[in-house]
């Protein structure tokens, strides 16, 4: 059958069905993305980088079958260009080398005009003033890697085009943020003076 995904005939759902029936069953099963499965796929992809991430996304999309790219984009928030690049890598067996060095030739904000504002929006909600009041810097619990991850997940930046975590760390420093886990302020213990009872 023309257009039948290669995965369909090998599906366990197709063992006793002809091709037409098999395709119908496979397609029905393939398009079901439960909330728990979507969460798992999104979290897994967010922990991968570069070629490994592209290949994972491409393999997932191929498993979704017809309309997989559209489904991954709308349900998982994945970039189609990244997916297509991963599919080409899977089919050709050739892994593209990411040109990370080329990204540092110009300031990051020249590539992404809203980058600094987006970083501030992410970090401000989890920052606080130096408890000792010795510095005007804001202390944040976020690491540069976590900020980069949120830029991709919440603000739509591409993993391939966004600068490295080290660049994000520099931008955080330039903006006046201190990357250090903020210790909870412990209340001072009140020591009660023990009154010695006088005895005669």
**Model pLDDT for residues 15-65, shown as the tens digit of each residue:** 444 444 444 444 444 557 788 888 888 888 888 888 888 899 999 998 888
Whether 57 is in a domain gets the answer yes
pLDDT in tens, 56-103: 999 999 888 888 899 888 888 888 888 999 999 888 888 776 554 444
Whether 164 is in a domain gets the answer yes
The residues pairing with 128 across neighbouring beta strands, listed in sequence order, are 139
Same domain membership, residue 145 and residue 112: yes
Q: Is the dihedral of CA 154, 155, 158, 163 positive or negative?
A: negative
Same domain membership, residue 114 and residue 86: no
Are 168 and 148 a contacting pair, CB within 8 Å? yes
Helix (H) and strand (E) counts for the chain?
A: 9, 3
Whether 115 is in a domain gets the answer yes
Nearest 5 degrees, angle CA 146-CA 42-CA 114? Answer: 50
Same domain membership, residue 174 and residue 116: yes
| Number of structural domains found in the chain | 2
Whether 26 is in a domain gets the answer no
Whether 41 is in a domain gets the answer yes
Domain with 79, as residue range(s), is: 31-92
Query: pTM for the whole thing?
Result: 0.40
Are 94 and 33 a contacting pair, CB within 8 Å? no
Same domain membership, residue 116 and residue 144: yes
Give 196's contacts (C-beta < 8 A, 6+ positions apart): none
Same domain membership, residue 136 and residue 73: no
Same domain membership, residue 166 and residue 118: yes
Q: What is the dihedral of CA 15, 16, 20, 26, to 10 degrees?
A: -40
Are 179 and 143 a contacting pair, CB within 8 Å? yes
Whether 3 is in a domain gets the answer no
Whether 25 is in a domain gets the answer no
Same domain membership, residue 126 and residue 79: no
């Amino acid at each position: 059958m023309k257009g039948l995904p290669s995965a369909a005939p090998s599906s366990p759902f197709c063992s006793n069905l002809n091709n037409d029936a098999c395709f119908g069953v496979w397609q029905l099963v393939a398009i079901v993305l439960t909330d728990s499965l979507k969460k798992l796929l999104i979290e897994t992809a967010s922990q991968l980088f570069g070629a490994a991430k592209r290949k994972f996304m491409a393999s997932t999309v191929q498993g979704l079958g017809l309309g997989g790219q559209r489904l991954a984009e709308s349900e998982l928030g994945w970039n189609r260009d990244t997916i297509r690049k991963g599919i080409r890598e899977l089919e050709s067996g050739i892994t593209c080398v990411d040109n990370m060095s080329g990204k540092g030739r110009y300031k990051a904000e020249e590539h992404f005009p809203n980058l600094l504002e987006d970083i501030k929006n992410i970090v401000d909600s989890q920052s606080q003033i130096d408890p000792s009041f010795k510095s005007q810097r804001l202390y944040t619990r976020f690491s540069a890697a976590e900020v980069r991850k949120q830029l991709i997940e919440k603000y739509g930046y591409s993993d391939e085009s966004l600068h490295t975590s080290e660049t994000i760390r520099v931008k955080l420093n330039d903006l006046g943020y201190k990357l250090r886990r903020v210790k909870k302020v412990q209340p001072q213990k009140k020591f009660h003076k023990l009154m010695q009872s006088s005895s005669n």
